[in-house]
Amino acid sequence: MSIMKFKNTKKVVNLISLVSLVFGTLLISSCSKKEQTDEKVLNIAVTAEVKGMDPIFANDRYSANEVARIYEGLLEYDYLKRPYTLVPNLADALPEVSEDGLTYTFKIKKGVVFQNDEAFAGGKGRELEAEDFVYSIKRLADPKLQGLGWWLLDEKIKGLNEWRNKYAEKDVVDYSEKIEGLYAADKYTLVFKLSKPFPQFLYSLAMPFTFVVAKEVVEKYGKEFINHPVGTGAFYLERFNPSSKRIEYVKNPTFRKKLFPSEASEEFKHMLTDAGKELPLVEKVTVNVISESQPRWLNFQKGKIDYSAVDKDNFDSVISEGKNLSKKLTDKGISLEISASLDVTYTAFNHDLKLFENVDLRRALALGVDIHENNKLFYNNTALPAQSVVPPGIAGYMKDYKSPYRERDLAKAKELLAKAGYPEGKGLPEITYDCPSSSTSRQIGELFKKQMSDIGVNIKVVQNTWPELQKKITTRQVMLYGIAWGADYPDAENFLQLLYGPNKAPGANGSGYNNAEFNKLFATASVMQDSPERTALYEKLNRIASEQAPWIYGVHRQNYTLQHSWLKNYMSTDFESGQAQYLNIDLEQKKKALDKL
């Protein structure tokens, strides 16, 4: 009897445990819902993991954005102004530039401190000095570290390349060695001397690669520095766990007094409600790595993330034909923001091949493409057909310019094909089209093949993994390849350099286009300061890039972003670094809106 009783008791205990486990799980789930409205937490979803928290390795947008929550640079883009305008961040003002455009002198802000960390005496972050920038730039140039942003400064600063080359073969790099073009004139004055005029230099100083780090922290953590970010930025991270799919930042208690801007371009005037308020506006930032579109979309709909791009798969159910948001979503307080992306997609010719020296052939192929069908099938008709290489939003883009080789014209394409020596495509070999291995890239390739067959050109689509494609481009083993380019900084030079002969692969000019006139004009324009004359040169280059058809242009993509009503001051931008400090959460509105979700 007692044994029976014991057995039953055990069963009951097991049952209770099971029930508690299930209810416990549900309770934990519901607790997290309450936490959503307790404090101002910005919830962000990103699609890829962060490589690490060292500015010199932040060469993808995901890593760059995370690095920029903690670290800062001398300059930043004015959050509420378009076109993009550089303003001082850790610099006290924009630099004094010498008449020859070679010397840049910065005064840095006084009283800025690094975040507290054991690396500093007493664990208290010390004041930022000009010497910290010298050290940080040298780290980017350090041949032992192989920083991924070295291309930014390669052959730009006097003596820096020599310093890098000198230590490439040595075991230890001497950071104390003076460099002619990079030094601290005093505690708060930083001087750069360039080896040649490079007006885009200032953009480099707004990019995370050049953000400032503290020598003590780098030396204390050594190779683990990548997991111990300590900057001067608005947010603080106790320890970065690279394998985690969630990064949680808290407001930096020692952040300097930085205010929300009080001026804005017309389109951002509505964001001036927070003008003059101290940054950051939220207590925490949570970044969730969600690589798949379904969970990202479901989390957004549940209010667990504050904004989300509209995925291709959900597009039709979310956006109506008139590019309006569906009523179901507007009723929930969700709004849509459309913004142009500074990018261009294209199909490049390999100009090393004699075949593509023939401009009539290139133009014929360009005329065979129906970009509107492409736009409809792959971009839900949201993209802008590219007329040339420079995207809208930056000087050099010609709003009213129409390329003579943009709109599909089969008769003219066939005529040009015959003129090129290949009537009806006869005598033309099979042309390979290399593309990345994603299904969308393959479908784009298949559509291209179909469109080319209409003019008698035989295309073979070849899919490659990304490294495979990169290698093929670099080693010139391609005929045509489909690819895209996104802006590193908002200057047409960043796009036009893709067609500059001396930048031939493995440089940025993967197609190997080499046009003497283009090269000469580019060499002149690329060292000019921003001016109407330079813009005129950019436009001329852009026109050549269109009419010579070195590529078959694709589209300039647009971002469609949804945001919840409680998120304030958000806009989609190509340069998101540091954006989180300007964003705000309206908790009252969030409480109300969550009930509707």
Partner 1 sequence: MNLWSYIIRRLLYTIPIILGVCLIIFAIFNLTGYDPAAQLLGKHATAKQVAEVRRELGLDKPLAEQYFDIVRTAFTFDFGRSWTTKQKISDMIREGAGPSLAVTLPSFVISTVMAILISIVVAFYRGKFIDRFLVVKFVGMMSIPSLAYILFFQWFFAYKLGWFEISGFERSFPEFLPYVILPIIIMVVLSIGPDVRYFRTVILDDIYQDYVRTARAKGLSERVVMLKHVLKNSMIPILTYVVIQIPFLILGALLIESFFSIPGLGGMTVKAVFDNDFPVIKAMTILSAVAFIMFQLITDVLYTVVDPRVRLK
Query: Going residue by residue from 458 to 477, which x/- string records binding to partner 1, judged by CB under 8 A?
Result: -------xxxx-xx--x---
Q: What distance in Å separates the CA atoms of residue 217 and residue 227, rounded to the nearest whole number?
A: 11
The answer to whether 46 and 287 are in contact (CB under 8 A) is: yes
- Examine residue 250 and tell whether it contacts partner 1 (CB under 8 A): no
Closest distance to partner 1 from the beta carbon of 26 (Å): 6
- Examine residue 241 and tell whether it contacts partner 1 (CB under 8 A): yes
Q: Which position among 55, 57, 213, 261 is part of the footprint of partner 1 (CB under 8 A)? A: 57
Q: Which position among 99, 243, 411, 430 is part of the footprint of partner 1 (CB under 8 A)? A: 243
| Closest to partner 1 by CB, 422 or 500 | 500
Q: What distance in Å separates the CA atoms of residue 494 and residue 485, rounded to the nearest whole number?
A: 10
Query: Going residue by residue from 287 to 316, which x/- string records binding to partner 1, judged by CB under 8 A?
Result: -xxxxx-xx--xx-xx-x------------
The answer to whether 149 and 137 are in contact (CB under 8 A) is: no
Of 5-13, 55-63, 396-404, 574-582, the segment contacting partner 1 by CB under 8 A is: 55-63
Q: Which position among 75, 108, 148, 585 is part of the footprint of partner 1 (CB under 8 A)? A: 148
- Examine residue 502 and tell whether it contacts partner 1 (CB under 8 A): no
The answer to whether 93 and 75 are in contact (CB under 8 A) is: no
Q: Which position among 21, 275, 338, 523 is part of the footprint of partner 1 (CB under 8 A)? A: 21
Report residue 255 as tokens.
């952040």
Q: Which position among 29, 123, 176, 595 is part of the footprint of partner 1 (CB under 8 A)? A: 29
* H helix intervals, 157-231: 160-168, 201-204, 215-221
Residue 385: asked if its preceding bond is cis (omega within 30°), the reply is: no
Segment 251-290, which members bind partner 1 (CB under 8 A)?
A: 288-290
Report residue 552 as tokens.
């078959």
Helix (H/G/I), strand (E/B), else coil: 421: coil
- Examine residue 507 and tell whether it contacts partner 1 (CB under 8 A): yes
Closest distance to partner 1 from the beta carbon of 152 (Å): 8
Reported as type and span, the H/E element at residue 567 is strand 567-568
Closest distance to partner 1 from the beta carbon of 123 (Å): 25
Q: Measured in whole angstroms, how far is the alpha carbon of residue 376 from the centre of its chain?
A: 25
Q: What distance in Å separates the CA atoms of residue 482 and residue 291, rounded to the nearest whole number?
A: 24
Closest distance to partner 1 from the beta carbon of 455 (Å): 31
Closest distance to partner 1 from the beta carbon of 438 (Å): 11
The answer to whether 140 and 212 are in contact (CB under 8 A) is: no
φ and ψ at residue 180, rounded to 5 degrees: -60, -40
Residue 506: asked if its preceding bond is cis (omega within 30°), the reply is: yes
Residue 83: asked if its preceding bond is cis (omega within 30°), the reply is: yes
Closest distance to partner 1 from the beta carbon of 497 (Å): 10
List, in sequence order, every beta strand (DSSP E) within 332-470: 335-340, 343-349, 384-385, 431-436, 459-464
Q: What distance in Å separates the CA atoms of residue 142 and residue 48, rounded to the nearest whole number?
A: 27
Closest CA to 44 of 428, 300, 409: 300
- Examine residue 151 and tell whether it contacts partner 1 (CB under 8 A): yes
- Examine residue 573 and tell whether it contacts partner 1 (CB under 8 A): no
φ and ψ at residue 289, rounded to 5 degrees: -90, 110
DSSP-assigned states of every residue in 64-125: HHHHHHH---SEEE-TT-SS--EEESSBSSSPEE-TTS-EEEEEBPTT-BPPP-TTSGGGPP
Of 27-35, 197-205, 247-255, 344-352, the segment contacting partner 1 by CB under 8 A is: 27-35
Label the pairing between strands 431-436 and 284-289.
unpaired
Reported as type and span, the H/E element at residue 2 is helix 2-35
Q: Which position among 39, 60, 263, 517 is part of the footprint of partner 1 (CB under 8 A)? A: 60
Of 78-86, 241-249, 271-279, 368-376, the segment contacting partner 1 by CB under 8 A is: 241-249
The answer to whether 550 and 515 are in contact (CB under 8 A) is: yes
Closest distance to partner 1 from the beta carbon of 154 (Å): 7
- Examine residue 248 and tell whether it contacts partner 1 (CB under 8 A): no
Segment 164-193, which members bind partner 1 (CB under 8 A)?
A: 168
Closest distance to partner 1 from the beta carbon of 338 (Å): 26
Q: Residues in contact with partner 1, total (CB under 8 A)?
A: 54
- Examine residue 26 and tell whether it contacts partner 1 (CB under 8 A): yes
Of 85-93, 242-250, 406-414, 564-572, the segment contacting partner 1 by CB under 8 A is: 242-250
Of 28-36, 255-263, 327-335, 361-369, the segment contacting partner 1 by CB under 8 A is: 28-36
Q: Which position among 8, 14, 17, 244 is part of the footprint of partner 1 (CB under 8 A)? A: 244
Sign of CA dihedral 58, 59, 64, 68: positive
| Closest to partner 1 by CB, 81 or 504 | 504
- Examine residue 51 and tell whether it contacts partner 1 (CB under 8 A): yes
Report residue 413 as tokens.
């394409």
* Interface positions with partner 1 (CB under 8 A): 21, 24-26, 28-29, 32, 49, 51-52, 54, 57, 59-60, 143-144, 146, 148, 150-151, 154, 168, 223, 226-227, 241-246, 288-292, 294-295, 298-299, 301-302, 304, 465-468, 470-471, 474, 485, 506-508
